[in-house]
Amino acid sequence: MASRGRTLKYLAAALLAAFCLAFARTDTTEKSMVRAILLEQGETDWTVGLLYQAPEASADSSEVSDGIGFAAAQGPNLERALNNAASLLPLDANFRLCDYLLLLPGSSWQTISEYESLVLTRQCGRTSALMAACDFTCEDLSEATEESGELLTTLLQTLKQAQRSSPRLYETRTDGGLLLPLLAVEEDVLSVQPEGWFLSQIEQTQWDAQKTAVYRLLMGRGEEFTFWMGEHPLTLRRPLLSVAVKGDGSFAVRLDCQTAAASADPTPEELAQLGTLCTQLLQERWQAGQDLIGLGACAALRDGSAARLDPTKNACPQLRTDVAVY
């Protein structure tokens, strides 16, 4: 009886091992793991690019490794273009590790909305994907990587470096606009530009480097924020934002930051100038219908829901932004 029990245990262990091996091979290594989706919306058709990791290149790892490939195809609509691109992969597409969504020239807020709807219905991506904008097309990327895939690996590494400043796809449901990091290829060198690409239902425009840095400082998106207030750059890090409602209904916004190791200490005039830039951006976005830092919620928290301010209904309240270093 004891011998029979041991035999059953060995048999059960063998079956479990076989099942795990079969699951691992069918769900991971025998699929092309899509790491990034590139969307390019034209006037009459769509182009979708898939940055994928080959099955033989440890595709189950979320880390960047060799074996990166790229496939792109067109279609009359987004779903057809995605299907056409997926059909070019060496094996069935798996979107479980699809961490990035790249918007190429011609993309708009509608592009994001249509893709998110497709993700929710077909699971062809992730709503937590980080988003970025690119100044190149799928055709440009295909031509640049015909002889070598080194640029594709560099693209994934660059996206990983920019993830602190990249919004996620699901944020389109809560924010009225998003500032995306901008990637560019110059002389076969890929880099994140100091400028940003702002996208909303009514806007799609490139912001200059200073406005981009001010936005990211207020939103805490990024690791370091560089400003040119005088002859030397001022680089800040670790911003702490606080908002207080005064008795007269105005707002006091405060940013406490550290200066980066290589940065000179800011003068009071430079901090005051930076505070003015922050206030101007908050006012500008309010007039565009976007409450960047939740001023309306702060008013409701103090005085009740009836006092909540709405940028689509109320004028921008009086506010002042002070920036300090510690």
Q: Does domain 208-326 have CATH number 2.40.128?
A: no
Contact between residue 28 and residue 13 where contact means Cβ atoms under 8 Å apart: no
Grade residue 34 by pLDDT with cuts at 50, 70 and 90. Answer: very high
Q: Answer yes or no: is pLDDT of 213 > 70.
A: yes
Q: Answer yes or no: is pLDDT of 147 > 80.
A: no
Between the alpha carbon of residue 254 and those of residues 73, 239, 243, the distances in Å are 49, 10, 6
Q: Answer yes or no: is pLDDT of 149 > 50.
A: yes
pLDDT of residue 26: 47
Higher per-residue confidence, 44 vs 57: 44
Q: How far is CA 42 from the centre of its chain?
A: 22
pLDDT tens-digit series, residues 311-326: 999 999 999 999 999 8
Q: Answer yes or no: is pLDDT of 181 > 90.
A: yes
Using a pLDDT cut of 90, give the percent of the chain over it. 71
Rounded distance, CA 261 to CA 249, Å? 38
Give residue limits of the domains in the chain: 31-207, 208-326
pLDDT of residue 2: 56
Grade residue 10 by pLDDT with cuts at 50, 70 and 90. Answer: low
Q: Compute the average pLDDT of residues 88-108.
A: 95
Rounded distance, CA 1 to CA 272, Å? 85
Tell me the CATH number for domain 31-207.
3.30.420.40
Measured from the Cβ of residue 147, the count of other Cβ atoms closer than 10 Å reads: 7
Three-class SS of residue 261?
coil
pLDDT of residue 61: 47
Residue pointed to by tokens 């002042």: 320
Of these ranges, 61-75, 110-124, 172-186, the one predicted with the greatest mean pLDDT is: 110-124
- Of 27-41, 105-119, 126-140, 260-274, the one with minimum mean pLDDT is 27-41
Radius of gyration of the chain (CA): 24
* Cα torsion angle, 189, 194, 200, 204, sign: negative
Joined tokens for residue 45:
């058709």
| Same fold flag, 31-207 and 208-326 | no
Tallying the residues shown for the chain, one arrives at 326
Q: Answer yes or no: is pLDDT of 198 > 80.
A: yes
pLDDT tens-digit series, residues 243-264: 999 988 899 999 999 999 888 8
pLDDT of residue 88: 96
Q: Answer yes or no: is pLDDT of 157 > 50.
A: yes
Q: Which residues does 186 contact at the CB level (< 8 Å), separation at least 6?
A: none
Average pLDDT value for the chain: 89
Grade residue 58 by pLDDT with cuts at 50, 70 and 90. Answer: very low
Q: Compute the average pLDDT of residues 222-241.
A: 91
